[in-house]
Amino acid sequence: IHDIIGHPVLPPFWSLGFHQCKWGYKSTDNIREVYENYISNELPIDTFWGDIDILQDYRIFTLNYDQFFDLPNLIDEMHEKNYKFVPIVDLGFPKNERDEFYIRGKKTDAFIKSSYTDDDLVSYVWPGRSVFPDFLNKEGEELWSYAMERYYNTVKYDGIWLDMNEPANLIESG
């Protein structure tokens, strides 16, 4: 039966431990304060999560350097003490001619197409009008791998919180 449904995978031990996630951090200092309170109060903790407030304008694979410029250093400190860090990643790349991932995906035809128009399928999610990688073609996979690697060069993550991976469309306001 496992040849049909797949074999079980043993998750990393740390992923089964105690995790801290919070929406609404305003800066790296806020995250550091929570981190240090866990340590000083000897509370059990294995992993800290970063929600979309650490992103620049909610664009995936970015970091808001205005408020979280020191986050990479804090993550290094966490790693030195064997704590893990998991950032959120949504699926929607902003449809923005200045976004490096959108530009790259547009050039390589990496996005899901509308079955009605054969244009890139556009939906409205956290960064606004967004397009989505087509994981059924190699260009979509390559774009995602490229983006993950680029992000890791800035945010040394231990895992990814893949959010908004279900069909979703936030209603554009204003």
Place of tokens 């197409």: 113
Catalytic residue status for 163? yes
Given the residues 100, 139, 141, 163, the one annotated as active site: 163
Catalytic residue status for 166? yes
Integer-rounded Cα radius of gyration of the chain:
18
Q: Which two tokens stand for residue 76?
A: 């290094």
CB–CB of 155/74 below 8 Å?
no
* SS3 call for 155: coil
Q: Which two tokens stand for residue 130?
A: 């967004």
CB–CB of 87/59 below 8 Å?
no
CB–CB of 44/16 below 8 Å?
no
Given the residues 3, 42, 118, 166, the one annotated as active site: 166
Residues annotated catalytic, as ranges:
163, 166
